[in-house]
Amino acid sequence: MHSVIGTPADVADVTKAHKLQHGRETVAFGDAGYLSIDWRPERKRQVKWHVTMRPGMRQALCNTVAGGLRDRIEPLKAQVRAQGAHAVRVIKRQFGSAKVRYRGQPKNTAQLHTLFAFANI
């Protein structure tokens, strides 16, 4: 992990996606919450986003040949995303940060920075 941003619960992840990139990425993967990333004005144009489909859209595609092919691609996207989610699992399970502390945004963000630094070691 190279970037961490702490936000309140009412801020969507897609609004901060451009700040999490360091600029050398050519490909990025995201879950269904990032479906609108292509229409964001602050999006970095050189990055190709691979966003997973919502389950309802995936079921509708299975009736066609092209849809069946796209349905086989979705688990591959999930495998790549799972590699990045492993660090989050380490922080939540091994460092005991599964629940949010209510000590204010700056302190919560400082704790996240510390835990991600430990996870990188």
Q: What is the pLDDT of residue 35?
A: 84
Written as six digits, the tokens of 37 are: 């990333």
Bridge partners, 8 (sequence order) = none
When the pLDDT of each residue in the chain is averaged and rounded to a whole number, the result is 81
Q: Is the dihedral of CA 39, 40, 43, 47 positive or negative?
A: negative
pLDDT per residue as tens digits for the range 40-84: 887 767 888 888 887 777 767 767 777 777 778 888 888 888 887
Q: Which helix (H) or strand (E) holds 51?
A: strand 48-51
Q: Could you tell me the pTM of the whole model?
A: 0.70
